[in-house]
Amino acid sequence: MLPVLKQQVPLPSGAVNTALNPRADAAASPRHSYLPDFTASPNVLVLLVIAQTFAFMLSLMRDYSAGGYLQNLGQVSLLTLWLAVSSAWLLALARPLFAGFSVALSSALALAIVLANTALTSEVVYWFGQTYGDQHLTGPASIFPAQRGVSLLRNLLIALVVTAAALRYFYVARQWQQNVEAAAESRIRALEARIRPHFLFNSMNTIAALTRSDPKAAERAIEDLADLFRASLGKPGEPVSLEQELDVARVYERMEQQRLGDRLKVDWQIDNLPLDMRVPGLTIQPLLENAIYHGIEPLDRGGVVTVLGAMTDGMLTISVTNPVAPAGQYRKHEGHQLALNNIRQRMELAYGDRGIFEIEQLADTFRVRIGFPLPA
Amino acid sequence: MMRNGLHTVLIADDEAPARTRMREMLVDIGGWSVAGEAANGADVLHQCQQQLPDVVLLDIRMPGMDGLETAAHLARLPVPPAVVFTTAYDEYAVNAFDAQALGYLLKPVRRERLLRALEHAARISRLQVEALGRENPELGARQNIPVTKFGVLTLVPLSNVLAFVADQKYVRLLHYADGALRESLIDEPLKQLAAEFASDFVRIHRNSLVRITSVDQLTHDDAGHYSVRLRGFPHALPVSRRHLAELRLRLKQ
């Protein structure tokens, strides 16, 4: 047999790509430390306000029976503000180093930087007090210490407690922000996965035709369409049972059957699956939609879409296979990747790297396989 | 062509319910006669040659050859019908039509809109369809060559074509079909074919046009006559001196 011109469909690079590499996108941009960027202007103001409040607290805790409150407040404020600003500046300088460090390591490093800064500052303060200290500076309410060691230890302990509390706060705030972002993203992705407009308008046209020729079929088609849109417009991102998701896919198949007639056949091989297992909604139906839109519709005589469900190694896998029209026979319609990327992203959001999303493209078939890990 | 004093319409859609609906609406409107129904592009071409309809209601998304390419073929017919595109939802195509002010109907089609489109159909001339192809080459370019053998029209995908060789009155199309090399006659001027498929084919002689990627080797005999061998084709094709330079250039690219 002679080779058919240009028909050896070039396999796209990485034809079989196992694509649930969790942080593939994130790896490109450096992972940010949970520490905020202290050089951003709102952060600087907040830092100054907090430091000054803390200085008030510290100076209120003293005994002023001998007077000197204002002197102490001034000195404590000066010391606290200096420590806060200089530590923040040092942390901002060191911030690029923190990228990629674990939380424990970057916390320890931040703590070390602040403590070293505190120790150095305390030494300078002690030296200043010793050199220039007069009655005025070193009264009973003064921060200039008489004994070097006690003062140093006291300053370090205060810095330790305050810094540890601040780090804990930053960490929790960051976690909370990430959770909010992840929830928002999964909701957006789920919205994108909704049934596509071409399907709605095609279905409406089919129903318009059936209304006269077969009113009963038209009635059923409207009920089916209502069910589909109820599933599609329902709570985005909520998990549903496998049974519900398969039902949606079957109703979808019934609608397309009305339109495409004999050209569409779907071979369901889905026995013995855990029907009450929870899966992200609209993951299986879009695979079927994709297979019909890009696989069956461009074929003159249509073909068979195979939906195969299996339980292997603590994993529920669903694969959807469709025939592909020979190259050159039809115009390529883009948008293929869009729907598939959406499913891949949602599988990642739901399961991280525990899920499966694979695309296998051969000369005459196209197959997508997704895997849902069983709950532990 | 008028039939019993009525204008004739060909309905082209790959979905049976869509064709049924269009037929029923044409009956409701009255004044139009349905010349036939077609489910794919090749069928549309074939029926247009047989029935000579006045208007074709042409679905854009059809298997094999889509509505846009079908329209490009229709525009080359000796008696081209007016074309009204129909589509359920096709952002890109609809945008292209907006730019061209070509007629299209959105499905489900309203009776009034269908009537208006049919009445205006005559204004969508062949020139406008050709302009659509010129300005959006990816929309209107032919991906298939229609071949009529014993009154049956088949489409040869362009990617299966090895060469066009002019032979007195006709052009011989060398192409693969079912894995074997075939030869078919087509009735299109070589000059137009050369212009239309210039990106994939190169002129090697006054009478022949070959697929650039199929050229296996360029040889010359003692007398200095050049010829090319095509992959999978047993005979050498002569290269004229006039086209030698361009062939060499294209082979290098």
Cβ-Cβ pairs closer than 8 A, A with B, add up to 100
Q: Are B82 and B1 within 8 A, CB to CB?
A: no
Confidence of residue A296 (pLDDT cuts 50, 70, 90): very high
- Domains of chain B in sequence order: 7-139 (3.40.50.2300), 145-252 (2.40.50.1020)
Confidence of residue A4 (pLDDT cuts 50, 70, 90): very low
Alpha-carbon radius of gyration of chain B = 21
Q: Which pLDDT does position A248 carry in this prediction? A: 93
Q: Is A179 on the interface with B (CB under 8 A)?
A: no
Residues of chain B found within 8 Å of residue A202, distances taken between Cβ atoms: 15, 88-89, 107
Instruction: Using CB atoms, pick whichever of B15, B143, B232 lies closest to residue A2.
Output: B232
C-alpha span between B190 and B28 (Å, rounded): 46
Q: Is B13 on the interface with A (CB under 8 A)?
A: no
- Min CA distance, B248 vs chain A (Å)? 22
Residues of chain B found within 8 Å of residue A294, distances taken between Cβ atoms: none
Instruction: For residue A177, count other CB atoms closer than 10 A to its CB.
Output: 11
pLDDT per residue as tens digits for the range B94-152: 666 655 546 788 899 999 999 988 888 756 555 666 666 566 555 556 888 888 888 78
> Which of A222, A263, A331 would you mutate first to test chain B, the one with the most B CBs within 10 A?
A331
Which chain A residue has the Cα nearest residue B40?
A: A300
CB contact under 8 A, B162 and A1: no
- Among the residue ranges A192-196, A296-300, B87-91, B107-111, the one predicted with the least confidence is A192-196
Instruction: For residue A232, count other CB atoms closer than 10 A to its CB.
Output: 22
| Mean pLDDT along residues A197-223 | 93
CB contact under 8 A, B63 and A298: yes
Backbone phi and psi for residue B153, each to the nearest 5 degrees, phi listed first: -95, 125
Sheet of strand B161-167, all strands in order from the earlier edge strand to the far edge: B180-186, B170-177, B161-167, B208-211, B201-205
Q: Is B21 on the interface with A (CB under 8 A)?
A: yes
Q: Which pLDDT does position A5 carry in this prediction? A: 33
> Which of B11, B13, B15 would you mutate first to test chain A, the one with the most A CBs within 10 A?
B15
Helices A69-98 and A41-60: crossing angle in degrees, nearest 10, is 140
Angle B241-B243-B247 (CA atoms, 0-180°, nearest 5)?
120
Confidence of residue A338 (pLDDT cuts 50, 70, 90): confident
Q: How large is the ipTM?
A: 0.74
Which chain B residue has the Cα nearest residue A8?
A: B159
Provide the total of helices (H) and of strands (E) in chain A, helices listed first.
Answer: 9, 8
C-alpha span between B74 and B51 (Å, rounded): 13
Peptide bond into A197 cis (omega under 30): no
Q: Which pLDDT does position B18 carry in this prediction? A: 94
Residues of chain B found within 8 Å of residue A208, distances taken between Cβ atoms: 21, 108
Q: What percent of chain A has pLDDT over 90?
A: 39
pLDDT per residue as tens digits for the range B177-223: 888 889 999 988 898 888 888 889 999 999 999 999 999 989 888 88
Residue with tokens 């319609």: A333
Of A268, A287, A269, nearest in space to A344 by CA: A287
CB contact under 8 A, A331 and B17: no
Residues 6+ apart with CB under 8 A from A233: A194
Residue with the bigger pLDDT between A361 and A5: it is A361
Q: Is B69 on the interface with A (CB under 8 A)?
A: yes
In eight-state DSSP terms, residue A82 is H
C-alpha span between B87 and A333 (Å, rounded): 15
Residue with the bigger pLDDT between B127 and A320: it is A320
Q: Is B88 on the interface with A (CB under 8 A)?
A: yes
Listed by number, the residues of chain A in 190-249 with a beta carbon closer than 8 Å to a beta carbon of chain B are: 197-198, 200-202, 204-206, 208-210, 212-213
Instruction: Using CB atoms, pick whichever of B61, B90, B160 lies closest to residue A297.
Output: B61
